[in-house]
Amino acid sequence: MTSRFLEVRDLCVAARVQKSALTPIVKNVSFAIETGKVVALIGESGSGKTTISLACMGYARPGCVITGGSVRLHDREVLELDFLERRRFRGTDVSYVAQSAAASFNAALTITRQVTETPLIKKLMSANEAAEKAVSLYRELDLPEPETIGHRYPHQVSGGQLQRLMAAMAMICDPKLLILDEPTTALDVTTQIEVLQAFKKLIRDKHTSAIYVSHDLAVVAQVADDILVLKDGEMIEYGPVDQIIHEPSQDYTRELISAAHVMPKRMPEIRTPTIQTTQEDVTEPLLVVDNVTAGYGPNHQYLALHSVSIEAHAGRTIGIIGESGSGKTTLGRVISGLMGCKQGEVRLGGMPLAGSIGTRSRDELRSIQFAFQMADVALNPRHRIRKILGRPLKFYFKMSKGEADHRVDELLDTVELPASFADRFPRELSGGERQRINLARSLTAEPKLMICDEITSALDTIVAEAILKLLRELQERLKIAYVFISHDLSTISKVADTIAVMRDGKIVEYGSTVEILTPPHHNYTELLLSSVPELRTDWLDGIEAQRTTARTAAAG
């Protein structure tokens, strides 16, 4: 018996584009996993990493076909098994943890019913044994109320808990191979670390082999033994984790590493202000959010912002950081006029702004522009770029068609895109190009202030890096003020001059970037900071003790 538990050789998968045509999406991928080891598949969207992990279970998504190669699992050739035989090893020998537990749990069944389903169906345990096993797994995974949490329905527990419950579901039969498909991507940073720790402990304690699929190199570094770097379905580099991180042999891997979401290590990397900080008292703030309280529902019933005050200065960036539910997006919406406020006011250049879009003057609307997170849904798919960029010109400046066309060409040049893109539709552009158009649309209005709502979050790391660079250049040239909203502290620290840390609708810490990032930190900031993975393999183990203290302090 070989110690290689899984061996994938020359795997090829193709997607059926039309009735007959097949387009390869995974090309000749080979790797192997020894018992108890973790291999990470890393790559950006479209790299084929999920497809490969599913093929290891002999499964191809609708529209995909496994066209060649071999997947040897222990002593079986998975790709030669029929449906019945594949069913036999799934859930028991190999199990799968999906990217979004919230979507993958069946809303109509209780959690334990789903967790214990496989051993019961395959008659591996009695109902009592399975239930006990489930509870002990819940306990190992640090889930609250392990005795009763399984009686709930999926919608009754939080996202982070659900992801761990899915791990329990995967581990119930003590599988020899665990496939984790971006299991922490949908989670907030502080939760991500907790789930990551739980997974790592589980894999180590049970001596399980695992495939860990992720786009995040720093996360992968914490759990993997080997890393396989993928791009467009092809293997770029394959080797032990230390070698990939410290001595990458390929340019693409180096690019990935330099763009990874890690905190800048040295202070010089942190944003140096474009205007001297000492002058701050002299310059009037461009935007003042003064003691704003706002919420959703009739009469602001559900408050999302409590007495929030911030300032933004021309040519400077204020970063708003927080996790989901912190109120950071609401703040952006209040500034832009998409939402009114219950108390307090927003002033632009000293003048109070009306609460809603309908009552703001066209010039006020023009001065504040909003850049959306997802460029692919923020651009009307039925409009050409020329119309997308031309409309604000006609709307705000009453430009003629000729003038607008000319200006559109200039704007495309500003965001480093060729003028020929004007006649394209958004779907004919890549994600990064679309985000540039999204920014260009905000620039057409020649705004004084731009609200950037998670504009890099949906982008692959390398593309995101380029967008941030562009933002900085634009600011230096046009002296625009940015309100940069993000959940990612490492991104914020690269762009912001001042940072406001938000939690539960309140600002918990507010100051210059250097102040915020230099110890001593506020408890919650400390928790956030310690949640950003570092690109070294021993970070997760070292951080545990430090975080426990930070978490209790932040909660208290």
Partner 1 sequence: MTMPETELRSPLRELLSELTPTVFICALILVGFILVVIFAPLIAPYGEGEILTNDSFALQGSEGKAQPGSTLLLGGDFLGRDILSRLVYGARVTLSVALAISLLAFLLGSTIGFLAATLRGTADAILSRIVDALISFPSIMIALIVVTSLGSTFTVLIITVALIDATRVFRVARALAMDIIVQDYIEAATVRGEGLGWIMWQEVLPNALGPLAAEFGIRFTYAILFISALSFLGLGVQPPHSDLGLMVKENIQALLYASAYDDLRYALICISPALCIATVTVSVNLIVDWYLKSTGASLPEEL
Partner 2 sequence: MTLTALIGRRLLIGVFILLIVSVLVFAGTEILPGDVATAILGQSATPELVALIRERLGLDDPVYLRYLHWLGGLVTGNLGTSLVNGADLGGEVGVRLFNTFFLAILTASVAVPLSIVLGLLSALKPNGALDRTISTVTLALISLPDFLTAIILVTLFAVTWKFFPAIVNIRSDDGITDIMHALVLPVATLVFAVLAHMVRMTRTVVLNVLTSAPIEMALLKGIPRWRILIVHALPNALAPIVNVIALNLAYLIAGIVVIETLFNVLGLGRFTVESVQNRDIPAVQVCAMIFCAVYVLLNLLADVISIIANPRLRHPK
Binding site for partner 1 (CB under 8 A): 18-19, 59-63, 83, 86, 336-338, 357, 360, 362, 365, 369-370, 372-374, 377-384, 391-392, 395, 441, 445
**Residue matched to tokens 């602001």:** 300
- The CA distance from 547 to 555, in Å, is 12
Residue number, 112 or 531, with CB nearest to partner 2: 112
The maximal CA–CA distance of the chain, rounded, in angstroms, is 78
Task: Answer for the pair 294, 342: CB distance below 8 angstroms, yes or no.
Answer: yes
- The CA distance from 228 to 244, in Å, is 9
Find the shortest distance in angstroms from Cβ 382 to partner 1: 4
Query: Residues 121, 122, 123, 126: is their CA dihedral positive or negative?
Result: negative
Strands (E), 395-516: 449-453, 481-486, 498-503, 506-512
- The CA distance from 10 to 76, in Å, is 16
Give contact residues for partner 2 (rule: CB under 8 A).
Answer: 54, 57, 59, 61-62, 86-92, 95-96, 98, 100, 103-109, 117-118, 121-122, 152-153, 155-156, 169
Which of partner 1, partner 2, none is residue 381 near (CB under 5 to 8 Å by kind)?
partner 1
- The CA distance from 166 to 124, in Å, is 19
Which of partner 2, partner 1, none is residue 121 near (CB under 5 to 8 Å by kind)?
partner 2
Which of partner 1, partner 2, none is residue 91 near (CB under 5 to 8 Å by kind)?
partner 2
Neighbouring residues of 147: CB distance < 8 A, sequence distance ≥ 6: 135
Which of partner 1, partner 2, none is residue 100 near (CB under 5 to 8 Å by kind)?
partner 2
Which of partner 2, partner 1, none is residue 109 near (CB under 5 to 8 Å by kind)?
partner 2
Task: Answer for the pair 311, 449: CB distance below 8 angstroms, yes or no.
Answer: no
Residue number, 106 or 548, with CB nearest to partner 2: 106
**Residue matched to tokens 């006649």:** 423
- The CA distance from 341 to 352, in Å, is 13
Residue number, 298 or 519, with CB nearest to partner 1: 298
Residue number, 138 or 421, with CB nearest to partner 1: 421
Find the shortest distance in angstroms from Cβ 375 to partner 1: 9
Residue number, 121 or 357, with CB nearest to partner 2: 121
Which of partner 2, partner 1, none is residue 265 near (CB under 5 to 8 Å by kind)?
none
Pairing of strands 76-77, 64-73: antiparallel
Find the shortest distance in angstroms from Cβ 423 to partner 2: 35
**Residue matched to tokens 């950081």:** 321
**Residues in the chain, how many?**
556
Residue number, 83 or 302, with CB nearest to partner 1: 83
Task: Answer for the pair 238, 262: CB distance below 8 angstroms, yes or no.
Answer: no
Find the shortest distance in angstroms from Cβ 51 to partner 1: 13
Find the shortest distance in angstroms from Cβ 168 to partner 1: 24
Residue number, 95 or 369, with CB nearest to partner 2: 95
Query: Residues 379, 337, 295, 313: is their CA dihedral positive or negative?
Result: positive
For residues 157-182, one letter each, b for 16 or more C-beta atoms within 10 angstroms of the residue's C-beta and e for the rest, the string is bebbbbbbbbbbbbbbbebbbbbbbb
- The CA distance from 221 to 239, in Å, is 12
Find the shortest distance in angstroms from Cβ 485 to partner 1: 14
Which of partner 2, partner 1, none is residue 360 near (CB under 5 to 8 Å by kind)?
partner 1
Which of partner 1, partner 2, none is residue 63 near (CB under 5 to 8 Å by kind)?
partner 1
Which of partner 1, partner 2, none is residue 118 near (CB under 5 to 8 Å by kind)?
partner 2
Query: Residue 345 corresponds to which tokens in the numbers above?
Result: 């006011």
Find the shortest distance in angstroms from Cβ 377 to partner 1: 5
Residue number, 92 or 512, with CB nearest to partner 2: 92
Residue number, 284 or 428, with CB nearest to partner 1: 428
Q: How far is CA 405 from the centre of its chain?
A: 36
Residue number, 384 or 536, with CB nearest to partner 1: 384
Find the shortest distance in angstroms from Cβ 338 to partner 1: 6
**Residue matched to tokens 């692919």:** 376
Which of partner 2, partner 1, none is residue 275 near (CB under 5 to 8 Å by kind)?
none
Find the shortest distance in angstroms from Cβ 104 to partner 2: 4
Nearest Cα residue to 295 out of 285, 306, 279:
306
Find the shortest distance in angstroms from Cβ 13 to partner 2: 16
